Chain A
Amino acid sequence: MEIINIIGIYNDPDDLIKGVKKVKEEGIAIKNIFSPFPVHGLPEILGLETRMPLLTFLYGVFGASVTFAFLYWTSVVSYPLKFGGKPLNSLSFIIIMFVLVIFVSVLFTFLTFFIRQKIGPGKKAVMIDKRTIDDKFAIVIEKDPAFTMEQLIKISNILRENGAVEVNEEIQPEGYKEERDE
């Protein structure tokens, strides 16, 4: 069955935030919000959180321990060889560990971003309104078949009264499967 979306288009990020706040107050479920650049304050209103900082920290710990284990094993266990009278388990391992912590955590953070966001080379971009990539902002609300006419008019009015310049009803394009923003 076709899914129909109600789309409120905004010209300004401040109006968008006002609109989102109001829609949430009224208890209407928001499906997605599109913007051409990150709108500050929006994730807080929507209650979006990301655990990426924690993951990056864990990658760093992982990188440090694997690097140290490798350096220790090669220099002390596998083939102990004295260089310049320095101890086998040398303090200067810190330099390589430092660099490789950055290497591992940057690379894994980068990959995590793509895996969590489910984007990558070859992914087809299915957009609900193409203008949102350039200069428009959009609130997308999925039209529930159980919505009464009154409810629909209410949603439309809420969007319009809070700065939406257009309110459109469109059939969802095929292949659209973005994660919900709420």
Chain B
Amino acid sequence: MYKTSVRGILIPGNKSYGQVANDILHPLEAKSPPPWWYIVASLAIGMTGFGIWGIYTTVTQGIGTWGVNNNVGWGMAIISFVWWIAIGHAGTAFSIFLLIMRQRWLTSITRTAEAMTVLAVICAGIFPLLHMGRIWNGFFILPYPNTRGPLWDNFNSPLFWDVAAISTYLMTSAVFWYIGLIPDLALVRERAVSKVKKRVYALLSFGWVGTARGWLRQETAIILIGGLAAPLVVSVHSIVSMDFATSVIPGWHTTIFPPYFVIGAIFSGFAMVMTLMIIIRHVFRYKDYVTQAHLDAIARIMVFISMFMGLAYATELFIAWYSAGEYEIFTFMKNRVTGTYTIAFWIMITCNAIIPQLFWSKRIRNNLMIMFAITIIINIGMWFERYVIIVTSISKDFLPSSWASYSPTVVEWANYIGTMGIFILGILLFFRYVPIIAMSETKGVLKETSNIEEVKHGNH
């Protein structure tokens, strides 16, 4: 089915099976990481340290150190939480395109996308825990037998659905990532020279040898877990959006929220994957694995999603006007399109709906520097989207007497920057200690895609 020449040759350069490992494992097998690695790592450690200070302050002194108040109860923490969860959507989305829609050109991207997913979900999970204020009572969110009745959780609450959805998502994406990683770790084990490295990778690869039975089971497990993860792409962010949509706050109480959040999540996730793939392609010389065609295809998908984003923004505005609800009209027209937060609103529109339209141009899709810049702009835009949704709606709700403004404090920024540090540090460790491109899967597509000429001439 996929042996057509639509995608052309996926891995150019007539590579042999042995060469794949040589090409992909060079950052892992290098004696020491390159100098830039240390520079970025120390920066990330600095950011993480700042974050640890923020977390320490939050935990010891409480969320009074944040800028949130009685009216604006959800500030930076929830903005960052939604932002990170959204970024974490691309890994699973990519794997599902690969597995279920048989888009085998994605083979070289999924490993990074999944690693990014796991890290982003970990970063996201920090914020709701901090937002509890008394983090040591965090286990209250789990239904456990207690002496208060036993009083159980409210299972109709979207906040509880969140707990279930996000822990499931973290577990599933981690398991899915690791099961595909085992054969590659086994290859690292066999190639390792130093004793320590051999030991560590022998432990991590679980004694994998690659018999026919083993492959059958591994492939079946991957397809099953991937298939089960597929609905999570849609459900996790839908459930996050219900935190907002099931409330009665103007601007949140809309039925468009679940699809709107899911599309936005996939958009920012794709942007982050693209950012990472451009970096990887450049610094690790993976030009034969992450080709221009890959980036071109992702950019095309992003134009499509960007138009969806524009449609969602327009629909929200239209429905606010069409519903003739005065609070809705006030929130959208007087507090977003115009008003105190107008800058944030127009940054959101520009970054998410207008600038990505540049991807229509082939020249821009071929220019990696501009593509890189646009992907960063998209993620900034997506941050502003959450800012607009959260802060505008609750800072000015029904009673003008209870209006309040919100500005984040340095502790809140520290938490946010800290999670970025954790993310960057995790990505750097991934670059250094894990095969960045799925080798066994790449070898699987090597032959099928390089003999396209043969297929054409009918000697297959």
Contact = CB atoms under 8 A, between A and B. Distances in A.
B357 interface: no
Contacts of B191: 134
Interface stretch (B226-234, B264-272, B290-298): B226-234
Contact of A179 (B155, B164, B213): B213
B220 A102 contact: no
B236 to A, nearest CB: 9
B187 A134 contact: yes
Nearest to B188: A133
Nearest to A111: B175
A37 interface: yes
A133 B224 contact: no
A65 interface: no
A102 B224 contact: no
B155 A93 contact: yes
B187 A35 contact: no
Interface string B87-127: 00000000000000000000000000000000000000000
B207 A109 contact: no
A116 B214 CA distance: 9
Q: What class of interface size applies to chain A in its complex with B?
A: 35 or more
B210 A102 contact: no
Contacts of A35: 210, 212, 215
B408 interface: no
B21 A134 contact: yes
B212 A48 contact: yes
B212 A119 contact: no
Nearest to B20: A135
B162 to A, nearest CB: 10
A26 interface: no
Contacts of A98: 231, 235
Contact of A102 (B21, B143, B172): B172
B211 A178 contact: yes
Contacts of A43: 212, 216
A95 interface: yes
Residue of B157, B160, B182, B215 with most chain A CB atoms under a 10 A cut-off = B215
Contact of A119 (B16, B208, B224): B208
Contact of B440 (A32, A37, A78, A178): A37
Interface residues of B, number: 65
A86 B156 contact: yes
A32 B206 contact: no
A102 B179 contact: no
A115 to B, nearest CB: 10
Contacts of B213: 48, 117, 178-179, 181
Given A110-B221, A135-B16, A121 B190 contact: no
Nearest to A178: B211
A103 B174 CA distance: 12
A84 interface: yes
B209 A38 contact: no
B86 interface: no
A155 interface: no
B288 interface: no
B217 A113 contact: yes
Contacts of B210: 34-36, 132-133
Contacts of B217: 50, 52, 113, 116-117
A32 B203 CA distance: 23
Interface stretch (A1-9, A123-131, A145-153, A164-172): A123-131
B190 A38 contact: no
Contact of A109 (B18, B157, B221): B221
Contacts of A83: 154, 156-157
Interface stretch (B45-53, B62-70, B441-449): B441-449
Interface in B159-193: 160-161, 164-165, 167-168, 171-172, 175-176, 179, 182-183, 186-187, 189-191
Between A37, A52, A100, A121, the greatest number of chain B beta carbons within 10 A of the residue's beta carbon is seen for A37
B382 interface: no
Contacts of B21: 134-135
A113 B221 contact: yes
Q: What 5 pairs between A and B have smallest CB-CB spacing?
A: A123-B207, A135-B17, A135-B18, A38-B215, A74-B152
Interface of B: 16-18, 20-21, 143, 149-152, 154-157, 160-161, 164-165, 167-168, 171-172, 175-176, 179, 182-183, 186-187, 189-191, 202-221, 224-225, 228-229, 231-232, 235, 239, 440-441, 443-444, 447
Given A103-B168, A103-B172, A179-B211, 10 more contacts: A32-B211, A37-B440, A48-B216, A79-B151, A116-B217, A117-B217, A119-B208, A124-B202, A125-B208, A125-B209
24 contacts: A14-B447, A36-B210, A36-B440, A39-B215, A52-B221, A74-B155, A79-B149, A90-B155, A90-B156, A102-B228, A102-B229, A103-B164, A105-B224, A106-B175, A106-B229, A113-B218, A113-B221, A117-B213, A125-B209, A130-B190, A133-B187, A134-B190, A135-B16, A181-B211
